[in-house]
Amino acid sequence: MMPGTVMALFAFSFGAVVGSFLNVCIYRLPLGQSVVSPGSRCMRCGTAVRWYDNIPIVSWLVLRGRCRSCHAPFSIRYPLVELLTGLLSLSLLLKFGPTPSYGVMFLFTAALVVVSFIDFDHQIIPDEISLPGIVVGFLCSFFLPGPGWLSSLLGIVVGWGSLALVFYGYLWLTGREGMGGGDAKLLAMMGGFLGLQAVPFIIFVSSLAGSIIGLTIMAVQRKDRHLAIPFGPYLAIGALVYLFIGPQLIQWYLRLGR
C-alpha cells in the first residue's frame, strides 16, 4: 500500500525528530547519563539549545553547524543521524504501510542506529538496548504477521549461540578477545525481531561487509591485522538488508541452483 504525500512527509518528519533524540542516546548512554534530563546544551559554553535551534536537520543548516551563542561547531553527525532515521521511517512506511509492523520495525531500526554509532565510537554495545530488545522482539512475534514466535525464539537462541561460539572459540585458541560478547546479544535481538531465517543471512552479509571495509581500512591506514574494528555496525547493515530485501535475495539465490 503506497502512502500519500502527507503521510510520507509525516513519516520522514517523525523519523527525523526521533533521530534527534537518538543523537542524545548515542552521546549519553556510554557515559551513563540520563537521556531525558538535562535538555540539549552546547558542550563548550553550556547554553541550553532553544527549541527553534533544535529542529531536526533544518536548524543545523540554518546555524551552519555552529552554536548560536559561542559559535562552537556541532558535528555533522547530528543532521546525518536525523536524516538517516527519517529515511528509515519513510522506507518502512513504504514497505509496511501504517500498520503495527511499521511501528515495531521502526523501533528496531532506531535501536540499530544507536547501537551502530555507539559501537563505532566506543566499541561497546549497551545491554540497555540489546537485552530489552530481545524481549520486545520475542513478544511482538505473537501479534505481527511474521516471523512467528517459534522462529523468533530460535532466532534468539541461534543468534546468540553462533556468535558466542565464535567469541569463546577465538578466546580459547588465541588467548585474546576477538568479537565482543555484545555482538552475540545484538544478533540475538535481531533474531528475535526478524526470525531464525534472518540469522545466517545477517552473519553472511555482515561478515562480507566487515571483511571488505575492514581490509580497506587496514590497507589505507597501514594497520596490522589485529586492528580492533567494531562489528555492530556491520551486523546492523546485514539486518537492514534482510529487513528490506532479504527474503527476495534468498529466493533469488535458491532459484539459481535449479
Position 227 scores a pLDDT of: 58
Please choose, from the candidates 70, 64, 22, the residue with its C-alpha nearest in 3D space to the C-alpha of residue 48: 70
Rounded to two decimals, the pTM is: 0.90
Position 58 scores a pLDDT of: 94
Position 174 scores a pLDDT of: 65
| Boundaries of every domain in the chain | 1-98, 126-258
- For residue 227, the 8-state DSSP code is -
Query: How many whole angstroms separate alpha carbon 155 and alpha carbon 148?
Result: 11
**Which residues make beta-bridge pairs with 66?**
73
Position 165 scores a pLDDT of: 82
Reduce the DSSP state of residue 73 to 3 states and report it: strand
Cβ atoms of 233 and 120 closer than 8 Å: yes
Query: How many whole angstroms separate alpha carbon 69 and alpha carbon 209?
Result: 42
Residues of the chain under the 70 pLDDT cut: 1-3, 167-168, 170-180, 221-228, 257-258
SS3 content of the chain, % helix, strand, coil (to 5): 70, 0, 30
Cβ atoms of 57 and 83 closer than 8 Å: yes
What are the CA-CA distances from residue 193 to residues 112, 153, 154, 179, 235 (Å)? 12, 9, 11, 22, 14
